Structure 1
Amino acid sequence: MSTAGAADTFKSADLVVQETKSPKTMPPLEDLKFGTTFTDHMLTVDFVEGEGWGKPTIKPFGFLSMHPAAQVLHYGMGCFEGMKAYRGPDGRGRLFRPDMNMARFAKSAQRLHLANFDSQELFTCLKELLKLEKRWLPDKEGYSIYIRPFAFSSTHTLGVAAPSRTTLGVILSPVGPYFRSGLTPVDMFIDEKHIRAWPGGMGEHKVGGNYAPTISPMVYAATEHGCSQVIYSFPQGSDPDNALISESGAMNVMFLLEKPSMRPVKDRELVTAPLDGTILPGVTRDSVLELTRGWGEFEVNERPLTLGELKLAHDEGRLLEMIGCGTACIIQPIASVKRGNGDVYETVQRWGDVNTLTTRLTKQLTDIQFGHTDSEWSVPFE
């Protein structure tokens, strides 16, 4: 996209704030359903080729207006981010590793050839939005404000071409647990039919096209197998057991295994799929890997894991724990995974023991997020 003669980014110094005259009543925290309640204001800014970026504006929350031929409606040219704000015991609002979210958002936008912008300018505008909406930030642990930056092609041309218009925005939603069951372990279905992402595709970017195709498999997993979510696999040859475990439709997945050994004490290994271009580089994923490596208690490996290896670990009693991790759920214990052939692989260790990986990670991460533990990952926005 040519931006000759146009501003290459919007500026936080130009931020316009239009406060609502009709503030909403906040619902009780226990009534919050993830992603359905929104705050009073939102941030928007538009780019037009030849004119550049307009002024970023915080305005009352409301509907967006777009041309019926907008490319996002026809070709899915849109991306988004997911991050959270937390209120600590000192009353201050905090963000968790926002630099990683801002960098990933910019990378996703670039992959779609949307207009370039300065991530730091966006972050400054985001902090102003959060300050304005501070009353919406829950003061109870387990609750937070989910932050959804998004960008899409608002070019109104029916043609598959580089966009000439971009709309960028941020909306906020106070939330509780992602799964209605909270931190209760869930069952997940291993999908061996549908492929989440192919090499050379968009799997490492947070674009809408990665998520829409997961709805049908998720509904099938729930209605036919009683599972909350899907774990995708990637076939290698004709043997189903050679398929690689990928990720879930909504989070990265990890497996704590005992390694085969003749010694009295078996070594343990935490395994997750490598970032090979088909896996989303999750912020929580990276945090879990860094924390557990710092413990020095077991091997932490980003490597291919096949369904056959998972089956063998289960059959030999070496499948200790399985977890999902992501911004929305943080840490989600997985009790079992089911396959279409009827196999069920259950974990040895159960949620609730203070020594389990899920319990320890949940505490360590939430202590950082809510400001109980000093960390450079916890960034105050006020």
Structure 2
Amino acid sequence: MASSLCLSGLAGIYRRAPVGARTGIQASLLQKSLTTAPKALVPKEELVFGHVFTDHMLTIEWTAKRGWGSPLIKPYGPLVLDPSCSVFHYAFECFEGLKAYRDAQGNIRLFRPEKNMERMNSSAERLHLPQFDGKEAVECIKELLRADKRWVPEGRGYSLYLRPTLISTENTLGVHRANSALLYVIASPCGPYFPTGFKAISLYCDESNVRAWPGGVGNKKLGANYAPSVGPQVAAENKGYQQVLWTIGEDHELMEVGTMNMFVFWRNESGEQELVTPPLDGTILPGITRDSILELTRNWGEFKVSERKINMKQIACASDEGRLLEVFGAGTACVVTPVSRIHFQGKDYEIPLNPSIPSAQAGPITARIYDTLFAVQYGETTSNWSVVVD
């Protein structure tokens, strides 16, 4: 019997009435043109994140004159865009990432999809791309899932990754607000994000590059935030580390882990057990998994939970004094990923994964958060965070 865990979402961080369109997205106008040649499914054990795509995609066109057009589900295929489209030249693009899960009864579930739509509207607003009604967009995504439900793999750790994307399609080399745009959603069945699965990763603290800065767009999910991270990531890999630890300032304040939000569980300078994550100061992406972890752990009431600045000198000191208990990254793709060591200024700082179980890949708090979120996502625990599609 499923246990009960009713969790309410936090107040909308991005709450704002949709603007920028005379006609909003209307799921009731959705049309379908389904494929007559379905693809063969790929065995789930062979899935590599983001390499296999389903039979269909969702597209919704927008123009400044007409607003949003009728949503269309059609066979997955190339987009036809003019070479002068401003998305190619000025990165007028934002996106989201969410997952659909198959529970033990065969139902398809989404995890807090309304939060993804809120964040996407926030990103769109920053680029002055058109905003939309998130509830209507979710209903359209549900129809895409119904069309491609056979692609949602079974089993814990497997899911169908959904990538809503909004781009400017205006044919111009001028830099100004878009007069035409396209919202589309593609889907990719996947297993664990990291090939190693739920295993601890190593971090290299990059002291030369920054992911974001005050007044910038680090709190938006823009494609332009990700391409510049590739060079530092490759450099970290060449040094023998799996991900970059992004910091900022002379004190090396923690920001994010690769493309994940960062969490530290430690005994702080006052001797308290504390879970810390950097605050949403405009440089940090407001992750849905991050938000969920904060609410979960605050509901537990077992230790202090803080959103505040923390720097690498504090981490190094805590490690040397045996106060650094656990470190992990969190995000939609990976859910939770434990960290085993951090390289900073010529030294590796080791994080104990689980003192009582030497072979474990995660500390007890990290593993508990991981298991709790998975139970919600796969419908094993009753929660209003889990939305049943059919």
Q: TM-score, normalised by structure 2?
A: 0.92
Equivalent in the alignment of 2:276: 271
- Residue 377 of structure 1 is aligned with which of 375, 381, 385? 385
- Which region of structure 1 is more displaced relative to structure 2, 269-278 or 48-57? 48-57
- Residue 104 of structure 1 is aligned with which of 109, 119, 140? 119
Q: How far apart are residue 150 of structure 1 and its match?
A: 0.3
- Residue 322 of structure 2 is aligned with which of 304, 317, 320? 317
The alignment-based identity, stated in percent, is 46
Unaligned runs of 5+ in 1: 237-241
- What amino acid is the match of 2:69? G
- What amino acid is the match of 1:286? D
- Which region of structure 1 is more displaced relative to structure 2, 42-51 or 70-79? 42-51
Unaligned runs of 5+ in 2: 1-18
Equivalent in the alignment of 1:53: 68
Q: Structure 1, residues 130-164: CA drift from partner, whole Å, max 9, x if none?
A: 01111011111110000100001111100111111
Equivalent in the alignment of 1:239: none
- Residue 140 of structure 1 is aligned with which of 111, 132, 155? 155
d(CA) in 1 for partners of 2:177, 2:258: 28
Is the partner of 2:65 in helix, strand or coil?
A: coil
d(CA) in 2 for partners of 1:216, 1:321: 28
Equivalent in the alignment of 1:359: 367
Q: Verify the 8 A CA contact 2:353 2:360 in the aligned structure 1.
A: no
Q: CA separation of 1:21/1:348 partners in 2, compared to 1, >3 Å: closer, same or farther?
A: same
How many residue pairs were aligned?
368
Q: How far apart are residue 115 of structure 1 and its match?
A: 1.6
d(CA) in 2 for partners of 1:118, 1:371: 26
Equivalent in the alignment of 1:252: 261
Q: How far apart are residue 83 of structure 1 and its match?
A: 0.4
Is the partner of 2:341 in helix, strand or coil?
A: strand
* 2:291 is equivalent to residue 286 of structure 1: yes
- Residue 235 of structure 1 is aligned with which of 246, 249, 266? 249
- What amino acid is the match of 1:346? E
Q: How far apart are residue 228 of structure 1 and its match?
A: 1.4
Q: TM-score, normalised by structure 1?
A: 0.94
d(CA) in 1 for partners of 2:273, 2:94: 37
- Residue 310 of structure 2 is aligned with which of 296, 305, 313? 305
Q: Verify the 8 A CA contact 1:256 1:319 in the aligned structure 2.
A: yes
Q: Verify the 8 A CA contact 1:43 1:129 in the aligned structure 2.
A: yes
* 2:134 is equivalent to residue 119 of structure 1: yes
d(CA) in 2 for partners of 1:172, 1:354: 30
Q: CA RMSD in A?
A: 1.5
* 2:344 is equivalent to residue 330 of structure 1: no
Equivalent in the alignment of 1:157: 172
Equivalent in the alignment of 1:8: 23
Q: Structure 1, residues 73-123: CA drift from partner, whole Å, max 9, x if none?
A: 000110000000101111111111111111101111111111222111111
Is the partner of 1:197 in helix, strand or coil?
A: coil
Equivalent in the alignment of 1:31: 46
d(CA) in 1 for partners of 2:372, 2:131: 36
Q: CA separation of 1:180/1:318 partners in 2, compared to 1, >3 Å: closer, same or farther?
A: same
Q: Structure 1, residues 2-45: CA drift from partner, whole Å, max 9, x if none?
A: x99x6331211110100001100011111100011000000001
Q: How far apart are residue 51 of structure 1 and its match?
A: 2.4
- Residue 189 of structure 2 is aligned with which of 167, 174, 199? 174
d(CA) in 1 for partners of 2:268, 2:223: 38
- What amino acid is the match of 2:247? S
Is the partner of 2:381 in helix, strand or coil?
A: coil
Q: Verify the 8 A CA contact 1:321 1:349 in the aligned structure 2.
A: yes
